[in-house]
Every structure is written in structure tokens, then in C-alpha cells.
Structure 1
Amino acid sequence: MGHLHKSFDRRDFLRATAGTTVALAAASVTGAAATSATAAPSTAANRGLTIPKDRIGIQLYSIRDKVAALGFAAVFAELSRIGYREVEFAGYTQNTDILGRQITVPEIRRLLDDNGLTAVGSHVAIGNLRTNLKAELDAAQILGMPHVGTANAPSNLNTVAGYRAAADEFNTWGAAATARGLKLYQHNHAGEFAFATDKPSVRLYDVFLKNTDPRHVYLELDIYWAYVGQYRYPGFDPAAYVRNQPYRYPLFHMKDGDANPSNVNGFDIVEFGAGDLPYERFIRDIGPRAAHIGIWEQDTAPNTQPNPPGSLGAAERSYAALHGLLS
């Protein structure tokens, strides 16, 4: 395990999560209006904290094994019990044995409402934005989510021209989303912070940021991958991007990493609070403007043992640690 600056004391983390259990329950249908991103409560804003603790989200990719096997009804009930309030989708399917057919997007919306959850966004394939944009925006509106985005890199061409062309595409898609009352976003990995192959002094992320229209194209900063980008392609501060254009970053992926020099990325993905990423410093350094919804993600969570609870256990412990940080 690494021994860099800790997000917070590990003993506090263990105390906060000791004795947690996971109980699955079925869902019933009520109805609640979805909400859009709003400013952080004034008490948090006065402290400069712009990630509200009462709107912690989860990227469902983290518990993809449970969604597939148990279905949205059982998973949403459990997430609501844990305390999550925002859900970011990574697909709209579950095991067809649960209903004898595939679930529909309107049925997913009813389950969200029933469990007091709000759809905050969705990762869709960039190819779907290119060829099936209307259907993706339709699904976003049915689910009541204010954002729809992709976790794919803007371009497979790591050149200035490739990223400029990608920015043009995103501007077109973003304008279509804006017309529907939605915000289009792109989620980074480490590769976006690399330098252009045809101009090694230019960072690809900077090309994308400069050439996308801030009225129509937003960013979801994956904080873990931004620090991996800093490790692999030094010369930038992840917090500075948010500080300089805070309203372009409505969503954060709050994923933790444990320092590991033998990993080419410099960090191993771990449960939130068990790693070395400087989250307290990051939150301080992004500044007091704008509000950002914090979404927990852990790519490796389905490997969590013992299973059960598996990835849902990781979700519960990470929620407790994240809530503690934001409190």
C-alpha cells in the first residue's frame, strides 16, 4: 500500500465502516419528480465546499455485476438504503430472467422514483451519439436526468487536428442536447492528458477544452484518472481545470487510488478512503464557485470479496468514507 498524503485517516475510515451490512429488498412504485443539479447548500458554500454531501452519486458500472444479476429494483432499493441519492447509468439492461423480458427505460424511471433516487447522467458509447443521438436524448428525458455523456475519448486520433474535429462533433451533439434542456458531457481517462503526437508541446485535453463551446459541452472530471494523467504526463494540476472553468464541470467521478510505483498508472484503484489521492487538497483547490455532484466509481469493485456482498459492500464502505470526507 502507498504512503502518500491520505484523503483522511484510515482508522476513521475503518471505524466509520465497521459492521456495515448489505440487505437486499424488492421495490414498489410511488412517484417523485427528478431534480437537476443545483448549487451546494449555503453552509457548505461558506466553507468553500462545492460537492454536497446530501447528493452523493454512484456510477452503476461499479456494481455492474449486481445490476446484471439482481436487477434494478433490488439494486436501487439497496443503494437508497445505503444513502446514495444520484445514479449515473452505464447501460439500461438487466438479466432478462427477472421479468421474463428486458426492462424498459420507463420502468427504470419508475423504480428510481420509488426509491427516492435521481438519474444524474449516463455513459453512452460515442458511436451512439454519432448515429443514435435522438434515442439517447429521449432516454435521458424519460429518466429525468439533466446530463448525458460518454466515457469514450473524444477521438482515436491523438493529434491536434483529430481533437479539433472531435470538438466540432461534440459542439453539434451538445447543441442538440441543449435544445432538449440537457447537458452533454465527456468523461476523461488518462489518455486525454497526453500530448499530441504531431505537436508534443500541446496537451490533447487542452485542445478539446479550448475548441468545445462552453454553452453546449461539459466535462465530468474523473479525479483518479486525472491524477494518473498527471503522473504519466506531468505538467498540470487537475484542480486548476475546475478552478479556471468551474461551471463546465457539473459532475466528478470520485474514485480513489493507492500509490503503486510498479503500476504504469502510478496507482491501483481501491475503495474510497483506502487510497492516497489528495482529495482534501483537491476540494480546497478547486475553489468556491459552482456546484459539482460527486459520483463514486470503482472499476474493480465486482472483484470485492467476500461476495456477497461483493461490489455492494464496496459501495457501502465507499459511501461512508465519501460522506465523511464531505462532512
Structure 2
Amino acid sequence: MRYVVGYAATERGRDALNLACALARSQGASLDLVMIDPEQSPYTAVYPPERSFSTLLAQQLGTWLDEALAMVPADVEARGHIRAADSDARGLIEAADEFGAGLIVVGAGSNGLFKRYTVGSVANALLHAAHVPVALAPRGYSRIDPVTRVTCAVGERRGAEDVLEVGSATAARHGLPLRLLSVLALDSSASGALEEARLHVADRVAKAKTLTGGRCEVTGTVAQGRTIENAVDNLEFDDGEIFIIGSSRLALHNQLFLGTTASKVLRSLPVPMVVVPRSYAGTPDLAGSPGQPASPAPQSGEPQ
């Protein structure tokens, strides 16, 4: 099991690396740190690059990659790659395809509040094109310890079943507590909708308990507020928690498209978010099949 990490020698890149290490430690995955070299792409305006500049850039990228690999904990296997692509998103998607990766990890935009999201251009492109789950690290994410709890958004729209299966498998593999969540923007008079949401969550909890086979604790809750953002603000989150949500119903089969609700949740979320493509059938790639070890990836500072 391999995770692709979109790395850059910036705070955003370090946020992504920290999250990737935490997820890898939780799921027994290896990491492929990928840096994109746009100068080597024939689709850029500066192609072909001036030779001396190209050499200096390659050396600098290699140095940054070695520094990143040195920050990976000893118990996480990792290798580094410098890839030519006309965009970071395309390069990461192609790397995920080539390596058979089950997850792409990137940092949020660089101008958000501490531990809040603003989706930058790379993350935005991935959230509208990737066909494997994408994990987003909030700004300032520094935790590298394993995940402690999984929260899974369970709506009633198409694709919710895929999210439930991914969340259940992720939590069950290492016995992590699983919290199933329905988020509502309601006023105090909408008691009928609130009761319907509670019944839906109870049904999803029963399904998750079947899926997890008693290997983890499963709970459910309904978050209510005047807005989606307000409802999320009212929730309590563990420092080591991840939040799993599904792609929009507008997404193509097995592809991501960040919907309106997910975008609103993202603006208030203080923990990493994992977005699952519509009709995603690769649960073992994200969560790991019980009893199956991760594919080995030797630690290396050599760009590939």
C-alpha cells in the first residue's frame, strides 16, 4: 500500500508530509514523496529550459527532497521522486497511477487561518479530477503520530455508501474509534428533519458495526447549526482525528468533485479531510486489507 505525497519545500509541503506520516503509521503504508519539475515539461512556455538553470534547479529539487526524506520517521518507509509535468496536479495523479497508490496527500492553501483550510490551486485541481482519495492537511498541521479517531460524514445522497465502507475499513484495520456524522443547517423548529437525521445515523451505525465486525467502537451523532460551518464549529475533534467525506453527486464515476456541503465543511474543519471519489471501489487501497502488509518501498534520497 502506497501513498503519494505532493511535496514542496514550503509550509504547505511540510503540512502534507506530516499528515502522510501520521496516516502511514496508522495504516502500514509506504510513502512516495513527489516533487514536480515544470521546467522539464514540453507544455510550458519556458521549454526547452536553459541548461545551466535546469541543472541548478534539479540539484535544488534533489536537496529539498533529501531534506524531506530525512524528516520521515524511521518506522515509515519512503522514497523520493522528481517528476516532469505541466501541472502539479497532473504530475501527482500520474504518479498515483504509476505506483498504484491508494491516496494522494497534499497541503491546504497557504493563506488560511491556523489549522483551517483555503484550497489552493493544486488541491482544487485534485479535488475535481483525481480518481483515488485525496487527503488535505490543514495549515500548520504538525502531528506525525498515528491517527486516533475516524469521523465519517454519512449523508443520504448517492456515494454515501462508498464513504461508509471506506471509513469502516479504515477504522477497523487498527481498532480506531469510528464516529458517523450527519451535518444539518437547521433552525430550532425543524424537528422533523432532525429526527429523520438521527434515524438515518442510527441505521448507518448498525451497518458500520456489521462492516467492522466488532473490531472497533462505532458511534453516531448529528451536528446541527444555523449553517453547515456553524454546525462543524460546534463539534469536538481529537488532535489525531481524520474526517472522511464523499465526492459530489455531480462527479463522474470513480472521480472526485468537491460538492457544496463538503466545501462548507472544509472551511470550518480543524482536522485533516479525506475526500473519497464517487463509486470508489478501492477501499483496501486507502484502509488496507486486514492481514495484508504494505508493499515495501525502501528509504532513499535518490530522485526517481
TM-score, structure 2 as length reference: 0.30
Judging by fraction of residues, say which structure has more strand. Answer: 2
Judging by fraction of residues, say which structure has more helix. Answer: 1
TM-score, structure 1 as length reference: 0.28
